[in-house]
Structure 1
Amino acid sequence: MFESFITSTLTVALAEIGDKTQLLSLVLAARFRNKWGIIAGILLATLLNHGVSAWLGSWLSQFLQSETGTWLVGASFILLAAWLLIPDKDDDVDNRLDRYGAFLVATVLFFLAEIGDKTQIATVLLGAQFESVFWVTMGTTLGMLLANVPVVLAGDYLMKRIPLTLTRTLAALAFAIVGVLHILG
């Protein structure tokens, strides 16, 4: 339980630095005054998206119990580590949604932005590794909040001071270590 929660929190928090959803946080913070509405939207979207992702990973784990499955999950973490080294770019956000308010816009855009994102795939893999939907979901959600709440609250100030290359490298290293440890059992 503790290992799944801590590993999920740390890997997603590191992976999220410089990710497109963190850039989305910055855009939303610049467009809306209601910072707590944005944060609540990030929380809800992440709980929904990562809850389904952790469940999918946990369900898939039944097919990955063999030695081949162990290698597949471990190799997937290592491939994800390599993917983390590729910087994300900011997607354009449609301003027509602004009339729905910070909470709804943040919820919808975050949920959609997470589909197929590195942190969603990481959540599936963590769910498969730990077979704990609740603790993986709680950990990945906390990791998302740790990376995005400061951006919402302090925005541009923080983004100019965080060394993204170093952070991406540390995140990639963390995922590679998790992959190797999974393979070694």
Structure 2
Amino acid sequence: MSNLTAVMSSSSDEAAVIDLESALPPTSPAVSLRAPSLWGIFASTFLTVFMAELGDKTQLATLLMSAESQAPWVVFAGAGSALVVTSCLGVLLGQWLAKWLSPRVLERAAGISLLAIALWLTWDVVRLSGGLN
């Protein structure tokens, strides 16, 4: 007998045992019902932020500040502190929004926001390049 069973009582005093796993639709072996581990969450967050920040304007600005100031560790401390504070704001805002909205709604809102920003930037580039006179 499997792990998921239920005992149901009928109108008579007999009890019936039902195998719940056989009542559920089959799932693929790749689907896991376990929550992701803390290390998995950490690793995916680290990689996502790390890849997003590589070569962006913030990294270029810190590169220039470090070269101009001749105080790379002070620039590192300032840039690192700024990233920690902005990340903290993002986490707190995300936690607050998660209380009111489902993850699916948050994902769609983020996707729509990023799409709107991309369209706005594309429109700006086309307009400034003289494409739409």
**TM-score after normalising by structure 1:** 0.38
For structure 2, the residue ranges without an aligned partner over 5 or more in a row are 1-37, 122-133
In structure 2, distance between residues paired with 1:78 and 1:15 = 15
In structure 2, distance between residues paired with 1:33 and 1:42 = 15
- Residues 1:74 and 2:111 are matched in the alignment: no
**What is the aligned partner in structure 2 of residue 59 from structure 1?**
96
Deviation at 1:74, TM superposition (A): 2.3
- Residues 1:10 and 2:31 are matched in the alignment: no
SS at the partner of 1:18?
A: coil
In structure 2, distance between residues paired with 1:80 and 1:5 = 25
Give the residue type in structure 1 aligned to 2:46.
T
Deviation at 1:37, TM superposition (A): 0.9
- Residues 1:30 and 2:63 are matched in the alignment: no
Deviation at 1:39, TM superposition (A): 0.8
Task: Tell me which of 44, 59, 62 is aligned to 2:81.
Answer: 44
User: Number of aligned pairs?
Assistant: 83
In structure 2, distance between residues paired with 1:62 and 1:43 = 29
Give the residue type in structure 2 aligned to 1:35.
P
Task: Tell me which of 21, 24, 29 is aligned to 2:58.
Answer: 21
Larger Rg: 2
Matches within 5 A, 1:109-120: none
Distance 1:14 1:81, change over 3 A: farther
Distance 1:58 1:46, change over 3 A: same
In structure 1, distance between residues paired with 2:55 and 2:115 = 15
In structure 2, distance between residues paired with 1:33 and 1:8 = 32
Deviation at 1:2, TM superposition (A): 1.7
Distance 1:81 1:37, change over 3 A: same
Distance 1:76 1:12, change over 3 A: farther
Structure with the bigger percentage of strand:
2
**What is the aligned partner in structure 1 of residue 27 from structure 2?**
none
For structure 1, the residue ranges without an aligned partner over 5 or more in a row are 89-185
Distance 1:20 1:81, change over 3 A: same
In structure 1, distance between residues paired with 2:82 and 2:103 = 30
Instruction: Using the aligned pairs only, state the percent identity.
Output: 28
Contact 1:15 1:84 in 2 (8 A): no
In structure 2, distance between residues paired with 1:83 and 1:19 = 20
**TM-score after normalising by structure 2:** 0.51
